[in-house]
Chain A
Amino acid sequence: MSEFAGIRRDALRAEREARAAVAPRRRFENLLDRHESRLRRVAFGMLGDAHRVDDVLQEAFLKAYRALPESFENERLEAAWLYRIVHRCCLDELRGRKRRREVAGVLELLSSEDEQDSSLVIAGALARLEPNSRAVVLLVDLIGLDYDTAATVLGVPRGTIASRLHEARRALRAVLDA
């Protein structure tokens, strides 16, 4: 009798462990399903280099998965958490690029033929903004995050978001009009 009880206990434990291992992966897949396309646009807008977007997102998702909390209080915090990690990874990449004295990818690739491609034109215009301005205009104007969430993502006060956004919109318009 006790032997059967032991087998059953072992089976239950194995099932529990298997479920515990799969559950975070499923949760994370679900999280990516909801956010990945928008995160991809933010990363592309930040980096301006289609070739580096995948590597940076891989690194960001790897970090995010390893630090995945058991749950989030609400969807706003969930989004802020994920966007913040991607944003930090993009900044790391930009800093590394600066150290290596590389030219921003999209500026290098942009030719007169590409000017027909409005996506590349926008990416080129964004690449001419400061990373802080780029981030705020992408998060608020492109993705549609509210000021509070954008402030959490960028780790700055709400008022800073408003002033940076004003400045970034003006600069972007000036670049596009030129």
Chain B
Amino acid sequence: MPDLHDLAAPPPPAGFRDRLWERVAERERRDGKRRRATAAVVVVAAAAALTATGVLALGHRPTAVMGKTFDKTSSCVVTYQGGVPVFRLQAHARYRFFQNKQWFSFPAVAALLTKEGIGLGSVGAVPDGYSIGASDSCTATRQIPLSRSGLPLEGIYKPGEAGMGAMDSGAQCMVGTRIAVRVHAVVGPNDTPVSGAIAVRTGKKLRPVVYVEWTPNRVAVYMSDDCYYT
């Protein structure tokens, strides 16, 4: 009787790895060309916008703030990274470090980003520092619960600690093609958030993936096994 362990794959053909590295180089060349072409288009479009209106809008302002609280839920398409839909999570309190005779400061932030750096939702200790689904791939959806929902605690970050994403690329979460994101922010003077939370769910059953409790001085991150912090 044949056994599963009898399954023998064909050996790799000669030059398999060489062909792989050739394809990598070719793809990188093609990407470089595309990036340069995109940059040229962006420069032309920005110049046209400046000429036409004299205004160049930067950043994303939330569409509505309910009194002193911002609370919205969006459903966003997650872009693929290496064949898997992946988003990144950055979460840290105030952090600064000294290098080359100068100080570099990071404000306290909790943010979800695609691999292209497009924001899916964020809360940060800066004026207008709250947003959700700025990209076209996000649409408003039914509210999801704002709770940790049994997610294990990954870490609590306080001022002076690099946390996630201040000095690295943050955590990465492998999810379904869509995620539901809820951003809740209590906004203080100068339209600057003083506390907030972000919840992320995915899949048909909207299983919890990430929950972040955020204040400028304390950021607690809860995340599922779908996420890993590098």
A62 to B28, CA, bound (A): 11
Q: Is residue A60 within 8 Å, beta carbon to beta carbon, of the partner chain?
A: yes
A71 to B82, CA, bound (A): 15
Q: Per-position contact with A for B12-45: 1 when CB-CB < 8 Å, else 0?
A: 1100110111011001000000000000000000
A61 to B24, CA, bound (A): 9
Shortest Cβ gap from B14 to chain A (Å):
11
Q: Is residue A12 within 8 Å, beta carbon to beta carbon, of the partner chain?
A: no
Q: Is residue B97 within 8 Å, beta carbon to beta carbon, of the partner chain?
A: no
Contact call A84/B169, Cβ cutoff below 8 A: no
Q: Is residue A119 within 8 Å, beta carbon to beta carbon, of the partner chain?
A: yes
Number of interface residues of B (CB under 8 A): 36
Q: Is residue B116 within 8 Å, beta carbon to beta carbon, of the partner chain?
A: no
Q: Is residue B74 within 8 Å, beta carbon to beta carbon, of the partner chain?
A: no
Contact call B24/A40, Cβ cutoff below 8 A: no
For A104, the chain B residues whose CB sits under 8 A away are none
Contact call A67/B81, Cβ cutoff below 8 A: yes
Contact call B9/A85, Cβ cutoff below 8 A: no
Q: Is residue B161 within 8 Å, beta carbon to beta carbon, of the partner chain?
A: no
Given A29-B17, A85-B83, A118-B3, A69–B10 Cβ distance below 8 Å?
Answer: no
Given A54-B12, A67-B82, A85-B84, A176–B1 Cβ distance below 8 Å?
Answer: yes
A interface residues, Cβ below 8 angstroms from B? 25, 29, 32, 36-37, 40-41, 43-45, 50, 53-54, 58, 60-73, 77, 81, 84-85, 88-89, 118-119, 121-123, 125-126, 137, 141-142, 148, 151-152, 155, 172, 176
